[in-house]
Amino acid sequence: MSLQSERDRQSLELAAAVDFVRQRVDASPRVAIILGSGLGGLADRIKKATCIPYGEIPGFGTPSASGHRGQLILGELESSKVVAMAGRFHRYEGWSNDQVAFPVQLMSAIGAECLIASNAAGGVSPKLRVGDIFVIRDHINLIGGAAIGAQANHARWLVRHSDFYDSAMSRVALEVAIEEQFNAYEGTYLATLGPTYETRSEYRMMRRIGADVVGMSTVGEVLAAAQVKMRVLGLSMVSNVANPDRPMKTDHAEVLEAGRAAEVKMEAIVRGVLRSV
């Protein structure tokens, strides 16, 4: 398939997805929210909600990762119209960069101007503790793969963005943590392809290159948001903390449990940001 044919196919697929969602619900959400591992409970607090299974939406698949229920939810939170992804697509599940980006393009096309992307991540910085909230201010992308957005002019990507993450929303997130008296830090998120957790040697390397937390998602969605000029807030819930000098075992059940325990903190930040925007 030629590049132009691929661009045309993706444009038609996006248009079909937009039409499908607009037929199901008459709403123009202002804020998009992506809920990562163990953080899907916030979706249950959305009022006047319309829930659409991913498998029904043109261009969507069904996520296979545990804790990702696979619904697009449109409704209201803090009197703001929102669209939330209860679950995301990961590259390690076999999805391409374009497939990971597609939901963000859809949410932008139906009106969302801001993106709050949350995830569960491993703590690389020794100051972090399980359950802390981490505000992403920059990222290191080690996921790899083809460039996101085959329909885009690739020359648009040959630009160094001054800031992928919105400083005003990040500031609000940290202020909420102070007001609610829980720990929140800011710094650099490192994205890997996965699906394996890191070795002790890999953790040492990640510290040396400047990472504070590490995960297997989010950056592809942030790059897609930058392409459509959405303001972005990136949030990580610290699900485990690395100790390169001691053998440790981490599994997905532990990540999900830590996410459920930290949901109240994540919800407080999301609500505070919604009030501010």
Whether residue 37 lies in the annotated active site: yes
User: Pick the catalytic residue: 64, 252, 254, 276?
Assistant: 252
Nearest CA to 116 among 181, 64, 168? 168
User: Pick the catalytic residue: 65, 86, 120, 121?
Assistant: 120
Helix (H) or strand (E) holding 66: none
Q: In angstroms, what CA-CA distances link 151 with 4, 103, 143, 227?
A: 8, 15, 20, 11
Cβ count within 10 A of residue 243: 12
Whether residue 93 lies in the annotated active site: yes
Helix (H) or strand (E) holding 238: strand 231-241
Whether residue 120 lies in the annotated active site: yes
User: Pick the catalytic residue: 32, 68, 197, 198?
Assistant: 68
Whether residue 161 lies in the annotated active site: no
The answer to whether 35 and 78 are in contact (CB under 8 A) is no
254 residue type, one letter: E
Whether residue 1 lies in the annotated active site: no
User: Pick the catalytic residue: 84, 216, 224, 225?
Assistant: 216
Structure tokens at 1: 């398939």
The answer to whether 58 and 13 are in contact (CB under 8 A) is yes
Cα 41 to Cα 29: distance, rounded to the nearest angstrom: 20
User: Pick the catalytic residue: 54, 84, 90, 108?
Assistant: 90
Whether residue 169 lies in the annotated active site: no
Whether residue 154 lies in the annotated active site: no
Whether residue 252 lies in the annotated active site: yes
User: Pick the catalytic residue: 64, 92, 186, 268?
Assistant: 92
User: Pick the catalytic residue: 108, 170, 217, 236?
Assistant: 217
Whether residue 237 lies in the annotated active site: no
User: Pick the catalytic residue: 108, 119, 125, 240?
Assistant: 240
Cα 249 to Cα 204: distance, rounded to the nearest angstrom: 16
The residues assigned a catalytic role are 37, 68, 90, 92-93, 120, 216-217, 240, 252
